[in-house]
Structure 1
Amino acid sequence: MSRAWLVAGVSLIVLPGIALAQGKGIRLWNLTSATISGFQLSPAGKNDWGPNQTLNDKDKEVDHDERLKITGVEPGRYDAKVSYRGSKQCLVRDIEIKADAVFSISDKDLKDCSK
Structure 2
Amino acid sequence: MLPFGRRALRRWFKKRAAEKIIPRAERFAQSLGVKYNQIQMTDSKFRWGSCSTKDNLNLNWRLIKAPVFVIDYIIVHELTHLIEGNHTPRFWNIVHAQVANMDKAKKWLKENGQLLLSDL
Q: What range is the shorter-chain TM-score in? A: under 0.3
* TM-score normalised according to structure 2 size: 0.25
Larger Rg: 1
Tell which has more relative contact order, 1 or 2 (C-alpha 8 A, sep 6+): 1
Higher helix share: 2
Higher strand share: 1
* TM-score normalised according to structure 1 size: 0.26
